[in-house]
Amino acid sequence: MGAANPAGDHHHEDRAQPFPQALLDALGADPLTPAFEQDGRVLVRGELLELVGRCTAGLRAAGLGNRSGVAIATAVSAEGFAAQLAAHVLGCRVVVLRPGLTPQQLAHILDQDIDAVVTDDPTTRLRTAAGGATVLTIGPDLLRDQETPVARGELDDPAIITFTSGSTGTPKGTVFDYRALTRHWSWQLPEWTDETARLAANYRRFLLFGTLSSAVVQEHLALCLNSGGTAVIPTGTPEFPDVLAELSITACLLTVARLHQILDDLSERDVDLSAARMLLVAGSPLEPHRLAQAHARIGSAVHLGYGQTELGMISLLSADDIAAHPAAAHSVGRPRDGVELEIRDDTGAPVPIGADGEVWVRVPNALSGYWRAPEETAAVLHDGRVRTRDLGHLDHDGFLHLTGRTRDVIMVNAVLHYAGPIERVLASHPDVDQAYVAGAPDARTGEAVHAYLVAAGARNPDHESLRALVAAELGAGAVPATITVLPEVPLTPAGKPDKNALLALRTIPAPR
């Protein structure tokens, strides 16, 4: 089940270097190896370290230090990452803004005690949302004379807040303190296990794209940089699978939907993916037959991962695992080193091997809580363990099989969306009396949102206005893929909407 490494054991904090000192030391020890590659430009590790030092000096000159709130609003770039590391060096509380935030979501996040915003594109929209916060543009505003960056964050202070998609109505912040990052399995190089070192060896050329705001992306970027690999940033929007071949990528994070796209493409033409060593698929359920197709067409580079923002990567499934244990094809793998995993019943008591229950996890790098949400924090954190709100069981070979969720959530393009807020937005339309949404597997997006409505009168709601309403309030990812209008909603014996029965109706064309 993975080696136990209790989160409450602080002994190795005496040995561990405060975050991000381990990475800074690794960069300084190997200054001539490429760290980032973008548009033909190569930034070696010594230059990245110098960039961090210059950003540190600029943030300090702006009056920032321990517990200052710093938002990073940049494209995926070495400069954006260096600015983030510099803020951590000073012990700041960092928020990395993801692209595609609605104006309301952006304003909400920047209203969370943010003292400065670091950006490479100081738009009017960003300056307006920043309010009284200082806006520092990467360039003369930020890059000052080099200083040697030395990490000085306080272990109990918030280090980074990762905000959700906002599909709960407003973005929810997952908080990691400096203690968690100092003990993080991929960031803390001196504490790497043999398993982690073997995994990191696959990250010689890691495709870095999309956003730096993702905790998952940062977790695997750490594997790349700490092991001496190069983060390769593609030009523009990457075209899969060609980008993997053109840039000789060895490691990449893939959503289930993107894997489907790659497999469909490879069924029609050949693309040389022989450089690939770790194509990690995660974010939503993957059918075993599709994983088998991936192994047959691409090879053993394809791995299936399971994790959460709150915990990082929990388990990993390889082709070798399936070869040795064929039933593992229906699992999400074995817990990795350092993960202490239990399956518990509704009372919180452990259940026997093979019995279903809720997945509880204990890791040193878990969240410290949710930003300004004590009730939600208390609902998730118990005795040093985290309730995942996912259901499943362990088999006798130690593989984790997921069977459901305790939460009403839908994973669209690996982004979690809660059903309740989408239902509330749809129900706010004057032509809607009742609204319910459910998720179902989707080859394009991993899972998709399907909406079921009861009209408020004789007139059926306009579907495009409903989609526009959801997009404006919750973002494009929450928009229903289908909308079905029904005379009434099927109920369970307990009198609740029967979402399984609703999903069975999703092939019925929605009335126009």
How far apart CA 391 and CA 97 sit, in angstroms, is 31
Answer whether residue 265 is part of any domain: no
Exposed, middle or buried by CB within 10 Å (0-12, 13-18, 19+), for 77? middle
Q: Among residues 148, 166, 182, which one ends one of the domains?
A: 182
**Containing structural domain, residue 86:** 17-182
Q: Number of helices (H) and strands (E) in the chain: give both, helices first.
A: 16, 26
How far apart CA 281 and CA 443 sit, in angstroms, is 14
What confidence score (pLDDT) does residue 512 get?
40
CATH label of the domain that carries residue 59: 3.40.50.12780
What confidence score (pLDDT) does residue 68 get?
98
Tens of pLDDT, residue by residue over 99-146, are 888 888 899 999 999 999 999 999 999 999 999 999 999 998 899 998
Q: Which residues pair with 303 in a beta bridge?
A: 280
Answer whether residue 397 is part of any domain: no
Answer whether residue 208 is part of any domain: no
What confidence score (pLDDT) does residue 169 get?
57
Q: Which residues of the chain have pLDDT under 70?
A: 1-16, 165-169, 493-496, 507-512
Tens of pLDDT, residue by residue over 464-498, are 999 999 999 888 989 999 999 999 888 776 566 78
How far apart CA 414 and CA 259 sit, in angstroms, is 12
What confidence score (pLDDT) does residue 407 get?
78
Tens of pLDDT, residue by residue over 220-234, are 999 999 999 999 999
Q: How far apart are the first and last CA of the chain?
A: 52
> What are 251's two structure tokens?
């490691």
For residues 250-289, one letter each, b for 16 or more C-beta atoms within 10 angstroms of the residue's C-beta and e for the rest, the string is bbbbbbbbbbbbbbeebeeeebebeebbbbbbbbbebeee
Largest CA distance in the chain: 72
Q: What is the mean pLDDT of the chain?
A: 91
For residues 36-66, one letter each, b for 16 or more C-beta atoms within 10 angstroms of the residue's C-beta and e for the rest, the string is bbbeeeebbbbbbbbbbbbbbbbbeebebee
Q: Among residues 182, 205, 228, which one ends one of the domains?
A: 182
From 423, 375, 370, select the one nearest 167 (Cα to Cα): 423
What confidence score (pLDDT) does residue 421 get?
81
Q: Is the CB of residue 59 less than 8 Å from the CB of residue 142?
A: yes
How far apart CA 425 and CA 472 sit, in angstroms, is 10
> What are 363's two structure tokens?
């890791």
From 338, 332, 337, 346, select the one nearest 394 (Cα to Cα): 332
Question: What's the pTM value of the predicted model, to 2 decimals?
Answer: 0.84
Answer whether residue 113 is part of any domain: yes
CATH label of the domain that carries residue 435: 3.30.300.30
How far apart CA 250 and CA 230 sit, in angstroms, is 10
Q: Is the CB of residue 117 less than 8 Å from the CB of residue 110?
A: yes
Answer whether residue 387 is part of any domain: no
Answer whether residue 485 is part of any domain: yes
Answer whether residue 174 is part of any domain: yes
Q: Among residues 129, 159, 182, which one ends one of the domains?
A: 182
* Segment (H or E) for 116: strand 116-119
How many CB atoms lie under 10 A from the CB of residue 357?
21
Overall domain count for the chain: 2
Answer whether residue 316 is part of any domain: no
